[in-house]
Every structure is written in structure tokens, then in C-alpha cells.
Amino acid sequence: MFNPKKTMKTKNTLLALGLALGLAGYSLPAFAQDSGEPDKAAIEKSFPSKPPYSPYAGRPFPARVYWGDTHLHTSYSMDAGAFGARLGPKDAYVFAKGNEITASSGQRVKLSRPLDFLVVADHSDGMGFFPMLLSGSQDILNDPQGKKWYEMIQSGKGADAALDIVITFGKGQMPKAIFPLPGTAPYRSAWAETIKAAEEANDPGRFTAFIGFEWTSNTGGNNLHRNVIFRDNASKAGLVEPYTTTKPLGSDNPRDLWKWMQTYEDKTNGRVLAIAHNGNLSNGRMFPLIESFTGKPIDREYAERREQWERLYEATQIKGDGETHPLLSPNDEFANFERWDKGNLDLSELKKPEMLEFEYARAALRNGLKLEKELGVNPYKFGMVGSTDSHTGLAAVEEDNFFGKTSSAEPSAGRAEHPFIKNPAHPGVVVMGWETSASGYAGVWATDNTREALWDAMQRKETYATTGPRMIVRFFASWDFVATDANTRSPAVVGYQKGVPMGGDLQQAPGGKSPTFLVAALKDPIGANLDRVQIIKGWLDGKGETHEKVYDVAWSGDRKPDSKTGKLPAVGNTVDVPNATWTNTIGTPELIKVWKDPDFDAAQSAFYYVRVLEIPTPRWTAYDAKYFGIKMPPEVTMTVQERAYTSPIWYTPAK
């Protein structure tokens, strides 16, 4: 049997012996040739002096972006089932692959184009309860409360049963005999079915079905949710059950989730990562300086663990956009976008302005620089993705194909004006159905469409978020880009040769140099033209204060920035709201530029990320108004400027 260690030992022994003999005046014997005399010209053909004629052969870098959703719920999630979802994990994968299916509301639905990957991330608390209830399992019928709910559904009072279940669950009063908990047969069955669906749907090279779940910390209505994504297949993921927030089996503290993740990796030699979302509904708890669980400043251990396990942040989804807020970024004319800032997740506590700093991605990136200076580790050094958080089993968030947050909000004439969240404690504050956002998707630059390649790309943060369109965005940083590097149809070639991609790091600046950035954006093939490309910079000054600035880097047309304000004029608007259409007579299909930071200080740590804006297009509310022949109230937003956010690139000066 071949033993590589023994073989290596033998080779090393012979080499040492040969060297010793040579030093002693001995020469090695000539070896016999049985392949003829060597011919230099012939041999040179085996060692080409040029790269391959085909520029696509042997590329060592990711040459394609893969599109997917890292956050989709099915009927296996307690709340999704309560609000009418009847599609399970298998259905979700069938739909994501581009097949036409029937939604829970009875409507036929299909994506404009298939996705490349999907994470079914059902809530770990109560996973599989509704399929068990709807099937009338013996465990359900043996329990008085379970039997009551089942009979209500069978008699046509399903909505009343669902509301009663949601209230009971929210109060923590679910009957233990029927509530799926880790270690119980119903829970094991639901997790096994979730894994089975992913294994059957996974088709390496064509479609990736990740195994995952959502850990849903929501104490006091304050959203600290994370999606956990496995790199592994059933042989490892099946050795554990998802971590919950139900005590004493689980915990609502992220530190305990990170410990569970470490235990999983230690036990299985597998890999997992977590993606937080909806800091805008955390009421100041998502990106803390002071931990809400201890009341103390976050310490180095917290910073190290968060940076280790939470490599990405879900910056946009149905429950609002999470890039920034106009009160945090008053000089950013595009900051007021798809805002959800009325309160926490259940509106039990209303929003206060001082909470915002600890809820949004850009502010967290800024505070991360400050914490790195204090602790030596940046806990908020995350990349960006978008995803849906749909609770329908349908990753359908195109503006003209928006199937809502829940199955009860699938297309209908009244969904826009139906309250989405309200709380009797604050009767004057309501989140309306029209405020849900048709967003978003994750773009991942990976070497192949496999679990391993996609997960590895997420781990290194070579990702970006979009609010739905599939625009292609490249972003690189270097000390050596020149203007002519933008004169190419393959910016990635020079990008990887000279620099680092999105999610990467630049170290101490060479003497007298400023960082240069190569950014390229190409419109969605079936979408709108591009308005502009911007680079958002954040930095830490010598006094320990953080700052931000938005730079317009490339734009369509012959517009000129205002000589006094520096602001670029608006691109215009071709949207025909009554007919829910627009024209691509403004904007441009692509933008590419090399940009040098004009305000660089080599002593100041900084981050840079790209925001790409499309021209205005009809929002989903305009499509609903046209299709159903209805008039929306005047406060309803009817147009949207879709966008993309790349993962940042960080600059760190020498210590």
C-alpha cells in the first residue's frame, strides 16, 4: 500500500545521502535514456512562454457571480404556517430552480430566471409544527389544545386558530406535549425532512441547496435574528439539531449561538457561518457598543467571536433596507430608502433616534473601526448580502413578481392597504402592507456552483447585496491601478492581478501612495439602465471619531457635479406609473472607472464599499395598482431606485 509519509522519508534520505556523497567528492551515476536524445525546441512546446490563447482557460479566480437567497421560510416555520404557507422545503427548491408551481394562495407563479442557490432557513423554534397540525397527527389529537386547533381548521376557522396559535406561542405558553423541541421525535423528523429536501435538490455545478436554519432571538420584540448556513452535507449536519432560543435547551444570547457553532465544528469537523438581519427592528441592539445582555461594553472575546462567526450581514430584505438612515447620513441624498424605523419587530417599543446608530450597516462599519482601535479586533468587519426573508416558500421579490412577505400577503387587490404590523399598546403606529419591500438577492463571486465554493466565497466576503435586480458588480482595490485598467472587457483579470476584491484588505500604504479602486457595473439583462456608481468611505480620525463620505465615481450621460455642492444632478425619470412601465432612454447599460481616494490619510483606518443605483422604475405597488385596477392612497410609494451594495474593502495602517 502507498504510504506518502514513508515515500517522502525515503526521498529525503536519498537526497541527504546524495548531498553527502557529492560533498565527499563522489558523483551520481548517469541514468539511462530510453526516450531518445533531448531536443530543446521540442521540449519548449511543453512549456509555453505565453498564457493560453483562450483568455478563459485556466482562470484561477471567480469568473461568475451566482444568484441566490440565503433566507427563505416555508410551512415548517411556525409563523409562516400560521399565515397560510403550505409550501414546504421541497417546493421551495423546485420553485427556485425556475419551475412553475402553485402558491399557497392558489395562484400560479414562476421566477423570471432560475436562482443558482437557496438556503431554506426555517425558524428553529417550533420547526415543523404546522405540517404536523395540518396532518392531524396522533400527537396533536391526543392533546386537548392541539385537538381544538385542528378541529377549528377543519371547520373553516383556520384564521382564528392561526391567530390563537401565534398569541399562545408569543406568550411562551405552547403545550409542551405538542410543541416540537430539540430531542423530540417531531423535531427530529422536521429537521430530517429539511435536510432530505436540501440533499435531493442539491445538484453540484447546476444548483446548490444549502442546509440551514434561522435562530430567532426576539426577546422583548427586539430582533437579533441570525441565519445559520452549513457548508456540509447530511452526514455532518444530521449529527446535530438546530439551536433554538427556547430555554434551557437554547438561549436568546448571540454568544451562546456562537458557542453552539463552535461545538458543531469541533464535533463534526464541519463548517458553519451566521448572517444577522434586520438590525432596523432591534431597537439599538444589533450592533452594540454596550451589550444588551450584560449592560457592559463589549469586550475582546465578543469582538473575536462575532468577527469569526458572522462574516456577512443581510443589508436589504422585505422588512426594509438596512444600509443607512437619513438621520445617520444627512448628506446622503439616497439614504431615505425603503425605511422601517417605527419601532421594534412587534411595535411593542417605539423607535428613538439614539437607537439608529446601532441598527444600520454603515454606522456599524464605522463603529467597527473605533472598536478595532480599542480592542484590537473589529467585530463589525462584515460583507453584504441581500435576501428575501419571505415566509411563503417563494423567493419571489422582483417588483413585477412580488409574492409578499407571507402567504396572506400574496398578490391581491387589498394587500397594500392591509396593516402588516400593529400593536394595541401603540394604536397610532402601524406598518402597512405597502411598506414591505420587494427585496433582495445575494450575489456571490465563486469558482463553481457548489456548497463548498459558494460557502467559501461567503466566508471571504466576496459577495454583494441587491434589492432584486441581477446587475453584475466588480470592485477591487490596489495601490497601482491606472486609468487605462478600466479599458477592458474583463476587469477581473487586472483586478485580481494588481489588487484585492470586495471583502478584502489593504495593508500599510507604500510611501506617498493613495489607494486606487477599480469598479465595474453592468445592468441586469432584463432590467433598468444604471444611473451611477458611488463609493462610500468611512474612516477613523486621529481623535478617535468616525466620518463618512459618498463619492460619485461614474455616471451616465454628460451630467456635471454642481460646482458648489458637488452633487450630481438626478438622472431623470421615465416611469409611467398608471401603466407600470418605464423606458431605458436614460441611464447607461454599464459603467467602469478607476478612482483614487482624493482625501486619503495613510495613518487613518478606513473602509470603502460600492453602491450602484439604477434609474427609477415602477415599484411593486404600481404593478399591483395596474393589475388590479385600483388607486393607491397618496402616501404609497410608487417608484423605486433599485440598488446594489458590495462588501467593503478595508484599509488598516501599520500599528
> Grid coordinates standing for 75?
410551512
Per mean pLDDT, which range of 89-93, 157-161, 203-207, 538-542 is the poorest? Answer: 157-161
User: Measuring CA to CA, how many Å separate 86 from each of 75, 103, 554?
Assistant: 5, 8, 46
Domain range list for the chain:
64-128+180-455, 471-651
pTM of the predicted model, to two decimals?
A: 0.92
Model confidence pLDDT, tens digit, residues 30-61: 444 555 566 766 666 666 677 889 989 888 89
Residue 4 has pLDDT above 70, yes or no: no
Give me the helix-helix angle, 254-268 and 300-309, nearest 10°.
60
CB atoms within 10 A of CB 66: 22
pLDDT tens figures, 617-646: 999 999 999 999 999 999 999 999 999 999
Q: Which three cell numbers stand for residue 384?
A: 453584504
Residue of 355, 339, 344, 347 lying closest to 426 (CA atoms): 347
450 grid coordinates: 457548489
SS (HEC) of 354-420: HHHHHCCHHHHHHHHHHHHHHHCCCCCCCEEEECCCEECCCCCCCHHHCCCCEHHHCCCCCHHHCEE
Write the DSSP assignment of 207-270 as a string of letters: BEEEEEEEE---GGG----EEEEESS-HHHHTTS----SSTTT--S-HHHHHHHHHHHHHHHS-
Q: Residue 654: what pLDDT?
A: 87
Question: What's residue 37's pLDDT?
Answer: 64
Mean pLDDT (the chain) is 92
Cα–Cα distance between 91 and 112 in angstroms, integer? 17
Model confidence pLDDT, tens digit, residues 357-404 = 999 999 999 999 999 999 999 999 999 999 999 999 999 999 999 999
Q: Is 357 exposed, middle or buried (0-12, 13-18, 19+ CB in 10 A)?
A: middle
The residues facing 67 across adjacent strands are 443
Say yes or no to pLDDT of 188 above 50.
Answer: yes
Angstrom distance (rounded) from CA 278 to CA 285:
11
Model pLDDT, residue 35 = 55
> What's residue 165's pLDDT?
85
- Write the pLDDT tens digit of every residue in 391-439: 999 999 999 999 999 999 999 999 999 999 999 999 999 999 999 999 9
Quickly state the pLDDT bin for 307 (edges 50, 70, 90): very high
Residue type, position 603, single letter = A
Longest CA pairwise span in the chain (Å)? 100
Q: Is the peptide bond prior to 440 cis by the omega test (within 30 degrees of 0)?
A: yes
Instruction: Find, among 284, 281, 288, the residue nearest to 346 by Cα.
Output: 281
